């Protein structure tokens, strides 16, 4: 254990305080009035990268996933990992299924620190949030916090659905730009996957035209935790037309400091991004506070579970709902029971929230036509089977 002298401790505290003051001063200089106005006018879009997902002991959730998969081990029997860009090379093609299963297990864990941060984001009235990670932690947070939303994701080489629900600040679109873990063939894991993705983007058939219009019609983008240092990120911005004359008037705000000054210059000049030297938590805290002052934070749209409600719900009635194929209502009723059980039911509630999120995404996939009816029924039955398993835990308690 290393002990710091009082002088060193004071010096360290002063340094941290100075950094905090600089960050706070930079944030105070932002045009908050314009940011809040674009939020209210539904013209402000949030982009989230892995750097926005804080994970204890690691820089971000991508690094935590690498540790989970033991990806940096040169003797890993399933994969070779390219740490510079985060792509994998599978030792055998059939190993991909096993690795994806491990990735799903990772993302289905509770992430309390991340979810606590995302609860604040869920209250801020963005009408669109685009993520370049394949997880559903954000939608899960929306579910748990009781906020409405609809979700979609980019699936390369699959025609975009004709149906498009216009996103609103009351019911935002959460869009996974590089695929979703619930649709394994959609996610980008290898260099080959990424080049297939680029080809699909160039063809232009896998993203709904109305969604592109919403992107192009925005007036402000906010970038949080994006991987500016990765070679492919510039290419990704270009294929999304982020450098085009059509989008040059859109205000772009990001939080980061670059180790290499030329990167900052490149993104500032080429993509017109304004960088603010602030950390994620401080920015979200400030944005949330500004929205609260302006009285534009969202209110919950779903019923909040209460202890009183749990007294009017029985396990037999939940089983009857399942038998009537009323899965959504069965999940909501079971959530009320778990929520009234205190800390002893916390793990069950976490598992139910993950299951509910999976069910919501499954319905969305079916609605937009990215899954066939037969496959939908198979996955729906799997959800029901897991739901019955959770009910059995209540009966045995």
Average pLDDT over residues 271-278: 80
For 46, phi then psi, to 5°, come to -100, 130
Average pLDDT over residues 298-313: 57
CA dihedral 231, 237, 243, 249 (to 10 degrees): -140
Tell me how far apart the alpha carbons of residues 389 and 386 are, in angstroms, rounded to a whole number: 5
pLDDT confidence of residue 4: 42
For 55, phi then psi, to 5°, come to -130, 130
Query: Per DSSP, what are the bridge partners of residue 48?
Result: 131, 224
pLDDT digits (tens, 9 = 90+) for 106-122: 998 888 889 999 999 99
Average pLDDT over residues 133-155: 89
Among residues of the chain, what percentage have pLDDT more than 90?
29
The CATH homologous superfamily of the domain defined by 29-56+107-293 = TPP-binding domain (3.40.50.1220)
pLDDT category of residue 248 using cuts at 50, 70 and 90: low
pLDDT category of residue 325 using cuts at 50, 70 and 90: confident
pLDDT category of residue 396 using cuts at 50, 70 and 90: low
> Model-level pTM greater than 0.75?
yes
Helix axis angle for 327-339 and 315-323, nearest 10°, is 160
Closest CA to 174 of 130, 114, 208: 130
Average pLDDT over residues 196-215: 80
Q: Is the pLDDT of residue 19 over 60?
A: no
The more confidently predicted of residues 71 and 300 is: 71
Q: Is the pLDDT of residue 5 over 50?
A: no
pLDDT confidence of residue 12: 47
């Amino acid at each position: 254990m290393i002990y710091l002298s009082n002088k060193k401790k004071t010096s360290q505290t002063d340094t941290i305080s100075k950094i905090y003051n600089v960050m706070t001063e930079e944030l105070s200089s932002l045009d908050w009035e314009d940011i809040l106005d674009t939020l209210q006018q539904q013209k402000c879009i949030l982009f989230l990268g892995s750097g926005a997902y804080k994970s204890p002991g690691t820089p971000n959730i991508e690094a935590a996933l690498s540790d989970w998969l033991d990806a940096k081990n040169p003797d890993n029997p399933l994969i070779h990992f390219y740490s510079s860009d985060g792509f994998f090379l599978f030792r055998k093609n059939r190993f991909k299924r096993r690795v994806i299963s491990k990735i799903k297990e990772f993302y289905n864990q509770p992430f309390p620190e991340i979810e606590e941060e995302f609860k604040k984001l869920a209250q801020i009235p963005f009408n669109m949030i685009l993520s370049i990670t394949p997880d559903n932690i954000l939608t899960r947070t929306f579910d748990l916090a009781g906020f409405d939303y609809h979700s979609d994701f980019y699936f390369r080489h699959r025609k975009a659905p004709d149906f498009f629900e216009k996103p609103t600040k009351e019911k935002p679109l959460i869009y996974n730009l590089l695929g979703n873990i619930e649709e394994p063939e959609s996610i980008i894991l290898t260099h080959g996957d990424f080049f297939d993705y680029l080809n699909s983007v160039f063809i232009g058939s896998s993203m709904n035209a109305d969604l592109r219009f919403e992107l192009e019609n925005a007036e402000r983008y906010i970038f949080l935790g994006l991987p500016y240092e990765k070679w492919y990120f510039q290419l990704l911005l270009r294929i999304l037309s982020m450098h085009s004359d059509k989008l040059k008037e859109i205000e772009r705000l990001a939080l980061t400091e670059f180790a290499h000054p030329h990167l900052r210059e490149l993104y500032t000049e080429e993509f017109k991004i304004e960088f603010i030297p602030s950390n994620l938590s401080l920015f979200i805290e400030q944005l949330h506070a500004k929205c609260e002052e302006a009285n534009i934070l969202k209110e919950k749209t779903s019923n909040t579970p209460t202890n009183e409600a749990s007294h009017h719900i029985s396990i037999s009635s939940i089983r009857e709902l399942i038998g009537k194929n009323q899965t959504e209502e069965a999940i909501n009723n079971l959530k009320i029971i778990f929520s009234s059980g205190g800390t002893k039911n916390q793990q069950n509630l976490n598992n139910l929230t993950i299951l509910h999120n999976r069910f919501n995404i499954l319905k969305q996939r079916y609605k937009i036509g990215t899954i066939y009816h037969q496959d939908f029924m198979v996955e729906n039955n799997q959800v029901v089977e897991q739901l019955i398993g959770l009910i059995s835990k209540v009966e045995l308690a």
